[in-house]
Amino acid sequence: MRLRLTRHGVCIPGFKAAGARSGKYGVALIKSEAPATAAVMLTSNKVKAAPLLVSREHAGNEIFGIIANSGNANAFTGEAGMRDARSMCSLAAELLGGSAENYLVASTGVIGRRLDLARVESLARRAAQSLECSPQASEAAARAIMTTDTFPKLCSVEAVLEDGKRYHVGGIAKGAGMIAPELRHATMLCFLTTNARLERDELEEALAGAVKQSFNRVVIDGDTSTNDFVALLANGSSDCEGEGFQEALNLVTQTLAKSIARDGEGATKYIEVRVLGARSDAEAELAARAVAGSNLVKSAVFGGDPNWGRIVAALGYSGAELVPEKLSLYVGTKGDERRVCLVKEGKPLAIEGTQELKAAEEVFSGREIYITAELNLGSGRGEAYGCDLSYDYVRINAEYTT
Amino acid sequence: MRLRLTRHGVCIPGFKAAGARSGKYGVALIKSEAPATAAVMLTSNKVKAAPLLVSREHAGNEIFGIIANSGNANAFTGEAGMRDARSMCSLAAELLGGSAENYLVASTGVIGRRLDLARVESLARRAAQSLECSPQASEAAARAIMTTDTFPKLCSVEAVLEDGKRYHVGGIAKGAGMIAPELRHATMLCFLTTNARLERDELEEALAGAVKQSFNRVVIDGDTSTNDFVALLANGSSDCEGEGFQEALNLVTQTLAKSIARDGEGATKYIEVRVLGARSDAEAELAARAVAGSNLVKSAVFGGDPNWGRIVAALGYSGAELVPEKLSLYVGTKGDERRVCLVKEGKPLAIEGTQELKAAEEVFSGREIYITAELNLGSGRGEAYGCDLSYDYVRINAEYTT
């Protein structure tokens, strides 16, 4: 199997999409040309937005498509919110066919406010007029679900099998703030499509596996949203069993996850953390996330300050086993991830007056910082994707609802 | 027993102190006039700074005093760092009497750099010349351990017993950044003194209890330092059993803890969170900390934006059980903590166009915000103390080592 990365987003053959925006409000539509099987993952937050609860009810049905809005989260809105989420499904059915129960629904935006259904409807009608299978339509849908995102996130892969047959996997996502992975749960809005033919249990297993090594590795601010939602639709229209599907799906979700990290609220720099030699993969993931999620590490990266002691501190409080005398630490850039050795088996090398500190300053002043920690305690490996903490993060979140 | 709050810091009768600073470096000395019994609590970070390890070794001995420096954490400095920490104890012994093993030592500042012992020595000698028992000396010691703190933190209480006897409890602390409670572990530097007569096990139990309901409730940025250290010295010089000691110690540590929260790095506002009606105290504490620690809540408070949905979201991901339909939420000011009801048993009241939203805006625009959440699930109670997230937090931490 060969995988070819493309930018069709959800608009792989067999799926159409559309999006419409007006100011900070938007509606995205995704339509499967044949009834699809769905797998969904919901936020671990105890307060789950109404659309997520409705989507969970519908997920076992034949799914014809997805409707999603931005600008209002329809979260903490009680029974009225549930009715509004169902109304969005009815609206989708009216515009795209089938009945309300054939649709998934998602929302993102301000918590605790009733949805303005008239606005959602008018945007959805406008979007429906331009429904098509094209990268442009996919991008319009990706733009329609943006909140504080600064660019649309979409990607797709074509999987070419040995016998020449091919299938596709695509996705769009939105991220930006309120993002922290919680075990195997979803962390933002992501809609995935595939025209491979898969059973529901295969689909669910593949999605759980993919989320674990993609969105669950993204850390923006440690907050877990009430609205995180990932949905994967498989409609079998390629007439191709999903051979190698996990690998293809992983590539799409990892690409989207890294886009989300790059576009964290106020982000000026991308941070990728790799932890090797932990006692287990779980501990390595924990340690990587602690580093990527540390406000102090993030602030230091923003300022271009090679204050690597904070990386050591974050590894130390992560919960992963750590023996200071065994720790080696590197920073570098893409393709040259270990350019500078900051610490060699417990011995600080990047100290005042050294070449290493100078080189570390150079790396920290760049736009992409790759951090590698070798714990030398076992063979556990983990990764995390994040961004710096800038003045703009504060500005964006200080003025969100006003 | 009556408790009278004073500002003598560690300089209660029976103890002397001194401090000296030069730029971002400082040294504090505390001397007990009689050999004291000590209880200490160390950071939960796997990377524990050398002085903490040395203090742990010494804590079982008769303790004559404490030496502490700011500007360099002496953390992740290996065997050399251990020697340097021991040298600080020897220096204290030379200046204040006894031998190195009679002293506790602590450090705060940049991680991963060797200590400049000559500088520490010169500051310690200067400090020793002004050693005395006075509020001024205590404040000098509190100032000497400041890093990004903007004001010295000291407090004390006089406990007057029924029979007219009295004893004292005092303390100084430093906080500011890299502060997150980790179960029953310490979270910053805090030196406590008492002239009550207590056994070591009583002392340890009292300290653990006091830390749990004071420093462990402070949340600044979710980072746990390599150097967090709390020490309590009891020298019995009041000739008074410590009747009601826990209450007196709690008052001192809570006062210091709230000072630390008020002086979080870049803080412009103080946030106090109270969670009632949780299934257990532990869950209530968890929920309160999630709210006080949420970057999104903190940013909203900084911006004066009554985006209470973020409080709901933080409660929801805290790990505490939560039933949205049962949740009530209030904000207010000191002494009027429930001024505004935002949510009444699941029903949002502070929505567009209401008096409640207007009143919430007023509260959020103030300097002190008290948040109360009633989960209505049991009788668990918990609190957390924090501050907003401002541009200055980012600035301070972007430029720390440079």
CB within 8 Å: A394 and B391: yes
Question: Quick one: pLDDT band at residue B221, thresholds 50, 70, 90?
Answer: low
In this structure, what token pair is assigned to residue B347? Answer: 């029903």
Given a contact cutoff of 8 angstroms between Cβ atoms, the answer to whether B3 and B163 are in contact is: no
**A45, A77, A297, A317: which to substitute to probe chain B, counting the most B Cβ within 10 Å?**
A317
- What does the pLDDT look like over A307-349, one tens digit per residue? 898 899 899 988 899 999 999 999 999 999 999 999 999 999 9
Alpha-carbon gap, residue A283 to A294, rounded angstroms: 16
Angle at A294 between CA A290 and CA A295, to 5 degrees: 165
End-to-end CA separation in angstroms for chain B:
51
Minimal C-alpha gap between B219 and chain A (Å): 13
A168 plus A301 within the same structural domain: no
Q: With 60 as the cut, is the pLDDT of residue A87 above it?
A: yes
**Amino acid occupying residue A95:** L
**Strand (E) positions, A2-101?**
2-6, 15-22, 25-42, 63-72
Q: What is the ipTM of this complex?
A: 0.76
Supply the range of the domain harboring residue A80. 2-262
Given a contact cutoff of 8 angstroms between Cβ atoms, the answer to whether B194 and B11 are in contact is: no
Given a contact cutoff of 8 angstroms between Cβ atoms, the answer to whether B226 and A312 are in contact is: yes
Burial of B117 (0-12, 13-18, 19+ CB in 10 A): middle
Minimal C-alpha gap between A36 and chain B (Å): 32
Q: Of B157, B263, B148, which is closest to residue B210 (Cα–Cα)? A: B157
Q: Which of A215, A233, A262 is where one domain is finished?
A: A262
Report the pLDDT averaged over residues B304-310: 89
Alpha-carbon gap, residue B40 to A215, rounded angstroms: 41
Give the largest CA-CA distance in chain A.
Answer: 70
- What does the pLDDT look like over B131-164, one tens digit per residue? 999 999 999 999 999 988 889 999 999 999 999 9
pTM, 2 dp: 0.84
Give how far Cα B105 sits from Cα of A313, B74, B96, Å.
20, 11, 14
**How much is the pLDDT for B312?**
92
Given a contact cutoff of 8 angstroms between Cβ atoms, the answer to whether A68 and A143 are in contact is: no
- What does the pLDDT look like over A198-238, one tens digit per residue? 999 999 999 999 999 998 888 865 567 888 899 999 999 99
Question: Quick one: pLDDT band at residue A359, thresholds 50, 70, 90?
Answer: very high
Say what percent of chain B tops pLDDT 90. 76
Given a contact cutoff of 8 angstroms between Cβ atoms, the answer to whether B26 and B140 are in contact is: no
Q: Which of B262, B278, B300 is where one domain is finished?
A: B262
Burial of A183 (0-12, 13-18, 19+ CB in 10 A): exposed
**A269, A325, A351, A397: which to substitute to probe chain B, counting the most B Cβ within 10 Å?**
A397
**B305, B327, B397: which to substitute to probe chain A, counting the most A Cβ within 10 Å?**
B397
* List of residues 6+ apart from A202 with CB closer than 8 A: A242, A245
A215 plus A297 within the same structural domain: no
A322 plus A217 within the same structural domain: no
Alpha-carbon gap, residue B104 to B295, rounded angstroms: 36
Minimal C-alpha gap between A171 and chain B (Å): 26
Report the pLDDT averaged over residues A369-378: 97
- What does the pLDDT look like over A150-181, one tens digit per residue? 899 999 999 999 999 999 999 999 986 544 44
For A176-230, what is the HEC assignment?
CCCCCCCCCCCCCEEEEEECCECCHHHHHHHHHHHHHCCHHHECCCCCCCCCCEE
CA-nearest residue of chain B to A396?
Answer: B299
CA-nearest residue of chain A to B304?
Answer: A398
B121 plus B36 within the same structural domain: yes
A241 plus A277 within the same structural domain: no
Q: Out of B222, B295, B310, name the one closest to residue A111 (CB).
A: B310
A182 plus A37 within the same structural domain: yes
Per-residue burial over A61-80, b if 16 or more Cβ lie within 10 Å, else e, is bebbbbbbbbbbbbbbbeee
Alpha-carbon gap, residue A327 to B55, rounded angstroms: 24
Alpha-carbon gap, residue A396 to A400, rounded angstroms: 6
Q: Out of A110, A310, A346, name the one closest to residue B309 (CB).
A: A110
Q: Point out the catalytic residue in the list A37, A108, A148, A187.
A: A187
CB within 8 Å: A317 and B221: no
Given a contact cutoff of 8 angstroms between Cβ atoms, the answer to whether A135 and A171 are in contact is: no
Alpha-carbon gap, residue A329 to A309, rounded angstroms: 10
B156 plus B187 within the same structural domain: yes
DSSP A240-287: -B-TTHHHHHHHHHHHHHHHHHHT-TT--SEEEEEEEEESSHHHHHHH
State whether residue A235 is helix, strand or coil.
coil
CB within 8 Å: B398 and A47: no
Q: Which residues pair with A108 in a beta bridge?
A: A70, A72
In this structure, what token pair is assigned to residue B394? Answer: 């980012």
A341 plus A210 within the same structural domain: no
Residues of B in contact with A300 (CB under 8 A): 397-398, 400-401
Q: Give the strand pairing for B270-278 and B166-174.
A: unpaired
**How much is the pLDDT for A133?**
98
B252 plus B324 within the same structural domain: no
A257 plus A274 within the same structural domain: no
Given a contact cutoff of 8 angstroms between Cβ atoms, the answer to whether A76 and A46 are in contact is: no
Q: With 60 as the cut, is the pLDDT of residue A402 above it?
A: no
DSSP state of B226: S
CB within 8 Å: B390 and A394: yes
For chain A, give the mean pLDDT: 91
Q: Which of B231, B262, B293 is where one domain is finished?
A: B262
Q: CATH no. for residue B194?
A: 3.60.70.12
Q: Whats the size of chain A, residue-wise?
A: 402
Number of CB atoms found within 10 A of residue B352's CB: 8
B17 plus B136 within the same structural domain: yes
Task: Count CA atoms closer than 13 A to A122's CA, side-chain side.
Answer: 6
A147 plus A296 within the same structural domain: no
- What does the pLDDT look like over A95-139, one tens digit per residue? 999 999 999 999 998 888 999 999 999 999 999 999 999 999 999
DSSP state of A112: S
Angle at B375 between CA B372 and CA B378, to 5 degrees: 120
* List of residues 6+ apart from B231 with CB closer than 8 A: B38, B39, B40, B41, B55, B59, B66, B104, B106, B190, B191, B192
**Amino acid occupying residue A245:** F
Q: CATH no. for residue A348?
A: 3.10.20.340
Q: Out of A44, A182, A400, name the one closest to residue B307 (CB).
A: A400
* List of residues 6+ apart from B215 with CB closer than 8 A: B181, B186, B187, B188, B190, B230, B253, B256, B257, B260
Residues of A in contact with B347 (CB under 8 A): 78
Q: How many domains does chain B have?
A: 2
